[in-house]
Structure 1
Amino acid sequence: MESLGIMIRFLLLFFANLLVLGSVSSAQDHSTYFLQCITDQFAILNLDPSNVVYTPNNASYASLLLAQNLRPASTSTLKPLLIITPFHEHEIQAAIYCSKKLGTQIRVRSGGHDYEGLSYTSQIPFVVLDMRNFRSISINTEEKTAWVEVGATLGQLYYTIARHSRTLAFTAGVCPTVGVGGHISGGGYGMMSASTPSPLITSLMPD
């Protein structure tokens, strides 16, 4: 069984959760200003934020927040001002723009298996950029490489590889719902990891 090299889109978002300190005074102010900012940015791009941006008043907010991990349900845990689930690169750029403009921290989440809470908790007002909709996987069996978006799960990657080849594999863990982005950027480990080099070849970062 040969190891498959991975080229991953938007992985660098995981290496540097954005922290820009600004002058907005309260969590409520942060929430109001960020929502207005991203709504304005979506309007410029002629995009609809209703299926992308979720506030605590939205019925889907709680289920999106918990994902694979119940830790955010704790009353002592600061909740994100908004949860953003982009479908397009421009929506990611809009979130980053508003984060930098308002000094609001972004926490980036792939599959939600982050037990340390780095992708969904913070001591200061923050938003969660949930990458669940970025799940495209493209396998090149001749070059033994794959382009994988960060929201894809390990199970989806395993299945896609198996459909293309009986001799190629990606060395990761046994839990199929772990997100590829978090697994690679967080040092995820599998039973065959010690016998293979790092699978990451390159990554694409939004401008």
Structure 2
Amino acid sequence: MRIFLAGATGAIGRLLVPLLLAEGHQVTALTRQDPSAIHGATAVIGDVYDATRLREVPATWPTRTTAAGEWSRRWRNWRRSPPRRRSGWCCGTGCCTAPAPGTRRAPLMADLAAAGALPAGPEITSFLHVEDAAIAAVQALHWPSGAVNIVDDEPAPASTWAPVFAQAVGAPTPSITDGTRPGWARGASNLHARTQLVWTPTQPTWRSGFAS
């Protein structure tokens, strides 16, 4: 299969590229960084926030799988109405470190914890280890179409997981806050993925995921 991958040098992307290549897929990888960091895939320099560059990208692919205008239209539609998600974060190597200077990413969990700003209230969060995210992405190429929750087995309120995370990264223990949990902050269940798609997380809980 010919696959175009954005974020190929990110926490998940750098694990995903070798998995895709190992399955025999042809990968074209979009990256803002040095393309020499991508091994085995065709690297394309670009930024998903640069609409002009995105319109040029399909012309650089070894085999064009969609017309430049159609690809740009789909991207613009996604930007106008991106998929909504419930409260969830990745854990594992690369997800809890500070972002590179000049990136558009918001402060990550370790930064918030170090600053004493990591919320520790009743909001329930689902986590997913970066390795499990990459593995699921490859497996999903063979799944039926449709939305699937890919999360670990233990949704938990921030009042439970935040102190454990702070300890794992050497940050001060956050203050537990009370309040009413918003309806959207209810986490997610991986029951469908486990029972219908035979997907099993290698890190079944954030407790071990933080430690890794």
TM over 0.5: no
> TM-score category by the smaller chain?
under 0.3
Report the structure number with the largest CA radius of gyration.
2
Please, what TM-score do these two structures have when normalized by structure 2?
0.26
**More strand by percentage:** 1
